[in-house]
Structure 1
Amino acid sequence: MEKHIGNLPLLVLLTAFCWVSFTHGSNVVRTNNGLLLANNCPQLGQTALNVYAVDTSNPASIGGELDLEITKDTGLQSDSVKISQINVDNYFWGCALTVAQPKRYKGLRYGVYEATLDSATTARTFVKRNSKILDTRGVFTVTLYPASGDPSETDLAPHDPFGVVWSPGCWQIQWCKGKRRNIYSGPKLQLSKIEGAAGIYTIRRGKRGSRGWFVQIEVIVASCPPDMYLDGSGTCSSRSRFPCLNGGVGKDGSDQCTCPPPFGGFVCDIELEASPLYTGILGQEEISSDEGTLRCGDLEGGNTRCKGFLLCYADLYGCKCAPGWHGNKCDRACPKGRWGADCSQHCPSSNIDCNRFRGPENRRTVIMIE
């Protein structure tokens, strides 16, 4: 089975001779989140870009194999790509793709990288260049929900507009989606109808787009409202479990949650310790390194605190900075009073120690589910 990364043909049935490389966080412990695709956002002046794909559900022992494929939307020059496998603590976690600065068409290394595991679970990660005009404030994916659980309903629930921060250069930008060009020209877009809403929107700066002057935002449209899920009969049912905690997001088609590191459990109420009993979440530097764990610092260019890592899960979770960080390059520490992935969680108003990676120190609530 031959797949292509850009115009570079590759046999990407990943075996012990895998050529693709992946990045990881401080510690990876095992959970059921499936495929994780991450990138360490390029810094100014950095010549190499690393994109990583990891099977977070069942890393194989060394000598095993994963049916993992990786592609890129706008292609890559074959002479700018280097692929390697990730073997840590006697486990084969996945692969890493290193993209050098091309001699020509420098914009080719920016865009959407996609990995597919076992032809089923898919995740994407977004790589963009720095631009004051094309500044999304660290937003890479947006999840929208239908207004009701009625399958015949065509309206989306109200949502905040998404796009770029306004600047004088916004007069030059163009919105595109697939083969549709110039579908919109303002800095912010708001959608109202379900049909045609999902997909990847490219915001370009006029004719300079081919040189990397573009950003991309994926719109994910859920099948059901946030408090419901799509059951086996194809209808929206109320979630029987408690709401997702600690920044978790409900799955589409499952009465479970996708959890940001280092949390697990059906509702993300359990803080996972580094242990061979769990698989595949990116943790933080406070967790001790036990056998069968993967750390951000294990990867080339990886920071022990996961600085600069954009984590992308499948389902409705989308892409968020590693816990404790936010911003376009995921390198800005959470401001006081915020914590978690993308700094999206609020610390309690009372004067309680609140770790920006894991939240309030006294938060150790375990919810028992029958």
Structure 2
Amino acid sequence: MDRGMRDYNLRAQQKGKSQSTAATKSKNSEVNTTDSEQSTTTTTGAMTGDTSLHEERSAQGAAMGMVPPELASFMLESRASFTQLNGKLDKFMEEMSTMKADLANTNHKVSDLETGLTLTSDKVSSIENTYLPQLRSQILNKIEELDEKLILSEIHDRKSNLLIYGVQQRNEKENTYDVVHEVFVHFMGISKEEASRVPLVNAHRLPSSTRGVAESQRQPPAIIVRFVRMIDRDRLLYGFERRPRQHSPTSTQQPNPQPQSSPYSKVTIRTDLPPKMKKERGEVAHITVLTAGYTTIETSSAVMYQCYRSVPDRDASLAFGRSAPITTDKSPPSDQPHHRYSHIRVVNFPNSNNWPSDGFGPFYCEAVKDGREITRVTTFFQRSDAKFIASDGVFTQTVNVNDTGVVISMTNRYQPDDNGNVITWRKDGGDVLTQLEGQTNINFPNPIEISNQGIYEIFYGGERDQNRGGIYRLIVTECPAGIWGPPECYGICDNCYNGGVCDDTSGLCICPNNFMGKNCLEICRDNGGNKFGLNCEFNCSSRNLPTSCRGYLFCLPDPYGCSCDVGSQGLACDSDCDVGTYGPGCSQICHCADVSSCDPFSGICTAGGCQSGWSGNNCQIPDTCEAGYYGSQCIDKCHCMDDVSCDKTTGACPQKCALGYSVRDGQENCQGELFYFIDSYSISQRI
């Protein structure tokens, strides 16, 4: 900067000398200039604006003294720039002031919003904590009130209806009214002419399934009758209830008495209940009974059975007792709480008070809960020196009504104390079945009937009080295989895999140990047991060994019965599975390309994959679905006429849908419809 000033001063001095010389010359030509100025007065007048600006700048320069013109010009330009900048600054300050005002206004609005949000949050909290619960309670009360009104309405609408089961269908063109009139004649004790004059609104057969049932064994479709007059309905119902009853089999009768010759001997007449009163029918309470020391009651120090309650039935109330008076009707010891878990109750058999002997027989755990069927699970205890044991190494067998070839086979391990003591049978602790004397097998007449189910006891005559006999329970479902919903039985069961059993009262699968899910397809543990319960939530041991549950008997709600843990078999559940078998009691067949690679607990093929025609995580899903099912896992239901197979991919039926089903717009498979009569309504909720 100092160097710049020095340069500037040097230039100024040089310019000063030049200006002094110019001034001297100006004085010498002053006179000449005067004439010249006069002669150019007109011209300079025309340039007044420029002269004025020059004079103004000259005056400013004179006021500043001897300031050089360049500096004066620079200062003037700087002053103009400063003036311009000052104007911009003033404008900027105005804009800043406006922005500050806008910001203050925005802050005020934000504050208002925050206040509003706080008030809104308080109102929402008040609604959630106070108003909504009150509204929910009011809605639930209203729903309950409407449900009650609906039930009353349904009862009023259906009170004139009766359902008639067991009347044989003559042919496809039968006159249902004529059939109904004959029923009136039989049960009301009136003439055909009088029966024909009973006024009816309508009468027709209900659709029924024939899936899995031989034509000769199919049950006739039920008939629904709607009466005009309640007195006629009541007369028929009264006549049915007053009909002569069949007596229970005596000791000389066969366990499966043949039907009487009357075409009405198996007819059942029931009222038509409203849907709301039927929808809760069926599903069992989810309990599991684990039994220890059950084949060594006279020698084991740990003879007991435990009743486990799965979610969602932890709140079910439990009761314990003896299922049948086998040698004695003595009740079991009082149940006790589990030492760790409140959802488990335990019944321990002591080594005193004759329990090593009286402990022989069937005992139960019974669960009761609103919205569930009363659920009784039966387990068994036997002596190690029992003279009879089941030939198939199990305590229960589940069959379906109308099954054929049903046999109970027992093995006699010891001879009688006296040669005159013959083999004897009883059922449910009742009278001796004399027609079975000396036999170790019961070959039931075909087809099997519900009346055949029960607990069968075998012993040597004169030795029953030794409690060394054998026991075996036969469970008979009320519907043919694959069908649920008695008595009409036209709901298709869920397809149950891995040893699961269809509950004929609900159509749901009851899954064995180590498997869960709707179709028992979910494997809880790939390479071992120690998992049981509805959701595999229970363990036999915290050590979690593959065989931790070996040696225990597991019993589930009917119609499942009892079985060993997965990977175990035999009456004492202490033997390995044979090669090629797996699952509960080793009851399932492996479908591995290399059967030796089949895991005995899960059925998973550890090498070589599945056999041709099978797929799935344990090779149990067939390439061709069983009739009545479709889909990649064969768990979707076809609903085709005559229960024929449908397309595995789409579910489309080759011809028509079954009665009560149709193909809706945009669909290919048959879908269910709601019937106005009760049994179809309740079943259509699941199929």
The TM tier, using the shorter chain, reads: 0.7 to 0.9
Deviation at 1:87, TM superposition (A): 5.8
Alignment partners' CA distance in 2, 1:214 and 1:98:
22
Instruction: Determine whether 1:180 maps to 2:180.
Output: no
In structure 2, the residue matched to 1:53 is 307
Which of the numbers 239, 249, 253 marks the counterpart of 2:492? 239
Deviation at 1:351, TM superposition (A): 1.1
Q: List per-residue Cα deviations over 1:123-159 (Å, max 9, x = no partner).
A: 1001112346302142211222222xxxxxxxxx213
Q: List per-residue Cα deviations over 1:206-250 (Å, max 9, x = no partner).
A: 33222221222111111111121126xx41115164x31111111
Alignment partners' CA distance in 2, 1:43 and 1:179:
24
Instruction: Determine whether 1:356 maps to 2:600.
Output: yes
Higher strand share: 1
Deviation at 1:324, TM superposition (A): 1.2
Aligned pairs (5 A) from 1:194-343 = 194=449, 196-230=451-485, 234-239=487-492, 241=494, 243-272=495-524, 284-285=529-530, 293-297=537-541, 305-343=548-586
Preserved CA contact (<8 Å) 1:122 1:314: yes
Structure 1 residues not aligned, in runs of 5+: 1-31, 148-156, 275-282
Higher helix share: 2
Q: Structure 1 265/317 Cα, relative in aligned 2: closer, same or farther at 3 Å?
A: same
Percent identity for Structure 1 against Structure 2: 22
Alignment partners' CA distance in 2, 1:77 and 1:303:
35
Alignment partners' CA distance in 2, 1:333 and 1:55:
29
Alignment partners' CA distance in 1, 2:313 and 2:577:
31
Deviation at 1:284, TM superposition (A): 1.9
Q: List per-residue Cα deviations over 1:238-292 (Å, max 9, x = no partner).
A: 5164x31111111112222111121122221122479xxxxxxxx824x7xxx99
Alignment partners' CA distance in 2, 1:256 and 1:222:
13
In structure 2, the residue matched to 1:144 is 399
Alignment partners' CA distance in 2, 1:191 and 1:198:
11
AA in 1 matched with 2:603: G
In structure 2, the residue matched to 1:158 is 404
Preserved CA contact (<8 Å) 1:33 1:259: no
Alignment partners' CA distance in 1, 2:580 and 2:366:
37
User: Mean Cα displacement is larger for which, 351-360 or 338-347?
Assistant: 351-360
Alignment partners' CA distance in 2, 1:70 and 1:95:
10
Which of the numbers 376, 383, 401 marks the counterpart of 1:129? 383
Q: List per-residue Cα deviations over 1:277-322 (Å, max 9, x = no partner).
A: xxxxxx824x7xxx993211269xx996211111111121111111
Preserved CA contact (<8 Å) 2:484 2:493: no
AA in 2 matched with 1:358: S
Structure 2 residues not aligned, in runs of 5+: 1-283, 610-615, 619-631, 638-687
Deviation at 1:163, TM superposition (A): 2.7
Preserved CA contact (<8 Å) 1:66 1:94: no
Alignment partners' CA distance in 1, 2:386 and 2:345:
32
Preserved CA contact (<8 Å) 1:229 1:255: yes
Alignment partners' CA distance in 2, 1:265 and 1:250:
13
Instruction: Determine whether 1:93 maps to 2:343.
Output: yes
Higher RCO, Cα 8 Å, sep 6+: 1
Structure with larger Rg: 2
Preserved CA contact (<8 Å) 1:134 1:165: yes
Deviation at 1:160, TM superposition (A): 4.0
Alignment partners' CA distance in 2, 1:346 and 1:132:
30
RMSD of aligned C-alpha atoms?
3.3
SS at match of 2:388: coil
Q: Structure 1 222/43 Cα, relative in aligned 2: closer, same or farther at 3 Å?
A: closer
Q: Structure 1 355/87 Cα, relative in aligned 2: closer, same or farther at 3 Å?
A: farther
Q: Structure 1 304/364 Cα, relative in aligned 2: closer, same or farther at 3 Å?
A: same
Q: List per-residue Cα deviations over 1:169-201 (Å, max 9, x = no partner).
A: 387321001321244220010212515311111
Which stretches of structure 1, 4 residues or longer, exceed 6 Å deviation after superposition?
none
